[in-house]
Amino acid sequence: MICAGIDAGSRAIKVVLVDGKALRAIGWGVADQGIRQGALARKLLDGVLKKAGVTRRALGRVVATGYGRDALTFADTAITEITCHACGVHHDQPSARTVIDIGGQDSKVLRLEDGGKVRDFVMNDRCAAGTGRFVEVVAARLGMGLGDLDKLGGRAKRPAAISSMCVVFAETEIIGLLACGEEPANIAAGVQASLATRIAAMVGRNVAGPVIFTGGVALLPGMTKALETALGHPVRVARRPQFTGALGAALLAARDADPT
């Protein structure tokens, strides 16, 4: 049986199809989030099914997760992203003990036990300065995309100090740095360091490894390096990090479809 997981995030919708017997991903897709979340998710799911050669009739359970999961009324059930991310990471990295997920509008730190069970977690969904939105704002201010910002940060001589704890004030601070002649590369690196410092504070002093990095921001190599510096600990990027939540949702759908 083929099952699907849909992660309706704040910035993007992700779909993963899983072979319920082999418990392996056979299809995935991503689309920008929008106002009509249910319609966008259904359209994306249909596209992923078509590409994988799976008919709607052959599709079993569908589990929704993420910021907009309750809007996906066609899904069989909804499960929190905490549970889905833990399941997705454990499937690919059974030894994982800490999960760092940085999305568009929130960030999470999960601590896992043996078997992938969540021992506890910390979540930041109140301040954009600790999320991918912070990086987006800075990239827009510098007139470039996220990938270009990441490459620019890699050329920095030294990260600029960005002390503001609010993304609005941080943007004003960055404008001031540019006006004073600060190199854009140093600003880009400073933004990554600032975000990594906020995440490290969520993790705390006792870092349990392996540490797995998930979410759209994990696609930026510079952020992985910044996290390793802030944590003083190696960080692994999950396989297809943007799809970790959707993968976990699909695996949980398969488990519910075949409880044995």
Q: What distances in angstroms separate CA 117 from CA 74, 82, 92, 236, one per listed residue?
A: 28, 10, 14, 19
**160 against 248, higher pLDDT:** 248
Q: Is the same domain home to 89 and 99?
A: no
Q: Is the same domain home to 1 and 32?
A: yes
For the segment 197-213, what is each residue's pLDDT rounded down to a tens digit? 889 989 988 899 999 99
| Phi (first) and psi of residue 244, to 5 degrees | -60, -45
Q: How far apart are CA 235 and CA 106, in angstroms?
A: 19
- The answer, yes or no, to whether residue 257 has pLDDT greater than 70, is no
Neighbouring-strand partners of residue 111: 98, 120
- The answer, yes or no, to whether residue 94 has pLDDT greater than 60, is yes
For the segment 15-41, what is each residue's pLDDT rounded down to a tens digit? 999 998 899 999 999 998 888 889 999
Handedness of CA 22, 23, 29, 34 (dihedral sign): positive
Q: Is the same domain home to 103 and 215?
A: yes
For the chain, the domain total comes to 2
Q: Is the same domain home to 141 and 128?
A: yes
Q: Is the same domain home to 33 and 135?
A: no
For the segment 151-185, what is each residue's pLDDT rounded down to a tens digit? 888 888 888 877 766 666 777 888 888 888 888 88
Q: Is the same domain home to 161 and 184?
A: yes
Q: Is the same domain home to 126 and 180?
A: yes
Give the domain range for residue 56.
Answer: 1-93+242-260
Give the pLDDT confidence score for residue 82 in this predicted structure.
94
Listed in sequence order, the residues at least 6 apart from 181 whose beta carbon sits closer than 8 Å to its beta carbon are none
Give the pLDDT confidence score for residue 128 in this predicted structure.
57
For the segment 107-154, what is each residue's pLDDT rounded down to a tens digit? 899 999 988 999 999 987 566 556 777 788 778 877 888 888 888 888
Please measure the distance between the N-terminal and C-terminal CA atoms of the chain and give it in whole angstroms: 14
8: CATH = 3.30.420.40
Give kind and range of the element (H or E) at residue 197: helix 184-203
Q: Is the same domain home to 215 and 106?
A: yes
Q: Is the same domain home to 69 and 151?
A: no
Q: Is the same domain home to 187 and 83?
A: no
For the segment 55-84, what is each residue's pLDDT rounded down to a tens digit? 989 999 999 999 889 999 999 999 999 999
Handedness of CA 171, 172, 176, 178 (dihedral sign): positive
- This prediction has a pTM of 0.88
Q: What's the angle, vertex CA 142, arms to CA 138 and CA 143, rounded to 5? A: 115
Q: Is the same domain home to 214 and 121?
A: yes
> By the 8 A CB rule, do 38 and 71 touch?
yes
Q: Is the same domain home to 10 and 102?
A: no
